[in-house]
Amino acid sequence: MQNIAKSYPGTTLTVIMFLIPLFFNSCREGDHVTVVKLAHGLDPSHSVHMGMVYMAERVYEKSGGHMRLDIYPSGQLGSERENLEMLQIGSLGITKVSAAIMEGFAPSYRIFGLPYIFIDRGHVERVLDGDIGREILADGEQFWLRGLAFYDAGSRSFYTKDRPIEHPDDLRGLKIRVMQSPSAVNMIRAFGGSPTPISWGELYTALQGGVVDGAENNPPSFYLSHHYEVCKYYSLNEHSTIPDVLLIGTKIWNNLTQQEQQWLQEAADESAIYQRELWVESERHSLQKVKEAGVQIIYSDKTPFIESVQGLYEVYMQDERFNNLIQRIRALE
């Protein structure tokens, strides 16, 4: 299969913004090839990027070479939020973001920010692959963001510089980096920590410089970011399971033919299955590597963490829509 992944030369943000209208629309080369640009912030060795490469290959095969995805990894075209905004105005075709980032664009994505909403991996898949997942993917369309598929991003746990997190009380007095997500901020506060929103690209330096005392993420992100070089405690309390979401701007989607839309959606669905298989191995490999690098892995008792966030459920359940979502998710346990 042809490898469709591309790279983009380094340049200043000013130049990028100037070139956006020229390069990032879906376009047709001559009369035969439709090209859609895909940008994201992950390293090319990440399983999510590999899933996207697989999707690009499947699109190319399904279309007989008449449709192509060009992939720009590692934040070359901006942050997650910047990529989303480019999708909305039609200057970028597809991106991948954490579902937490989507809280600011489509309300239903907030449900993923509830700690311990899922009981295991099977429960996650039943929700994401069923009616609930499809409804949430569709929720962004009114904001010009059409969900194509969910990618596995595992469960998030705490990693810290100076002491392990074995109980919520251990977070008191610690500044913990979070995504720019209201749910993440409220969760850290419920645990007793001090939430500090910082962009992913700035986090390594922030950890080194003591701007924050720790962060929270899944094992592959902890390993591939090299944050294990600074943080030597990884506490697997698995407080939240927030998927990644693959999105296409509706301006681009509506410019595709019905056949092109079908090729793309089928390839996205297939890539999600493929990526899940890669993810399981990447988690195992990442934990092994950070342990070899001297990181202490702590398997925390989840019970006190679960008890600490019950107030968040009470707040969510005051909203009829979220109460309904919670009950439907619980019914699939």
pLDDT digits over 227-236, tens only? Answer: 999 999 999 9
| Ranges 99-108, 168-177, 284-293, 306-315: which has the least confidence | 99-108
Confidence of residue 200 (pLDDT cuts 50, 70, 90): confident
Q: Six-digit token pair at 50?
A: 């590999």
3-state class (DSSP) for residue 132: helix
Confidence of residue 30 (pLDDT cuts 50, 70, 90): low
Q: Using CB atoms within 10 A of its CB, is residue 331 exposed (0-12), middle (13-18) or buried (19+)?
A: exposed
For residue 27, is pLDDT > 70? Answer: no
CA dihedral of residues 34, 52, 101, 117 (deg, nearest 10) = 130
| Ranges 31-35, 126-130, 291-295, 329-333: which has the least confidence | 31-35
Compute the distance between CA of residue 65 and CA of residue 33 in angstroms, rounded to an integer: 7
Q: What is the pLDDT of residue 81?
A: 87
For residue 8, is pLDDT > 70? Answer: no
| Ranges 4-18, 103-117, 121-135, 181-195: which has the least confidence | 4-18
Mean pLDDT for the stretch of residues 54-62:
98
Average pLDDT of the chain to the nearest whole number: 91
DSSP annotation of 70: E
Q: What angle do CA 94, 96, 99 make, to 5 degrees?
A: 130
Mean pLDDT for the stretch of residues 268-286:
96
- Please enumerate in sequence order all residues whose Cβ is within 8 A of that of 35, keeping only pairs 6 or more positions apart, or say none: 26, 27, 28, 29, 67, 68, 69, 70
Compute the distance between CA of residue 58 and CA of residue 83 in angstroms, rounded to an integer: 23
Compute the distance between CA of residue 158 and CA of residue 299 in angstroms, rounded to an integer: 11
Q: Using CB atoms within 10 A of its CB, is residue 87 exposed (0-12), middle (13-18) or buried (19+)?
A: buried
Nearest to 56 by CA among 45, 75, 41, 70: 70
Confidence of residue 188 (pLDDT cuts 50, 70, 90): very high
Mean pLDDT for the stretch of residues 158-181:
96
103 alpha carbon, distance to own chain's centre: 12
CB 181 within 8 A of CB 115: no
State which H helix or E strand residue 196 sits in.
Answer: strand 194-197
Compute the distance between CA of residue 29 and CA of residue 244 in angstroms, rounded to an integer: 31
Nearest to 156 by CA among 135, 128, 181, 130: 181
Per-residue CA distances from 234 to 14, 218, 238 (Å) = 39, 10, 11
Rg (CA), the chain: 20
Confidence of residue 6 (pLDDT cuts 50, 70, 90): very low
Q: What residues are paired with 196 via a beta bridge? A: 177
CB 196 within 8 A of CB 175: yes
Q: What is the pLDDT of residue 21?
A: 43
**Domains in the chain, ordered, with CATH?**
13-97+121-133+140-152+246-275 (3.40.190.170), 156-241+284-331 (3.40.190.170)
Buried b (16+ CB within 10 A) or exposed e, 204-234: eebbeeeebbbbbbbbbbbbbbebbebbbbb
Q: What is the pLDDT of residue 155?
A: 97
Q: Which residue type is seen at 156?
A: R
Q: What is the pLDDT of residue 28?
A: 55
| Ranges 27-36, 89-98, 119-128, 282-291: which has the least confidence | 27-36
Q: Which residue type is seen at 202?
A: E
pTM for this entry:
0.86
Q: What is the pLDDT of residue 15?
A: 35
Q: Which residue type is seen at 175?
A: K
pLDDT over 70, % of the chain: 91
Residues 69-95: pLDDT tens digits?
Answer: 999 999 999 988 899 999 999 999 999
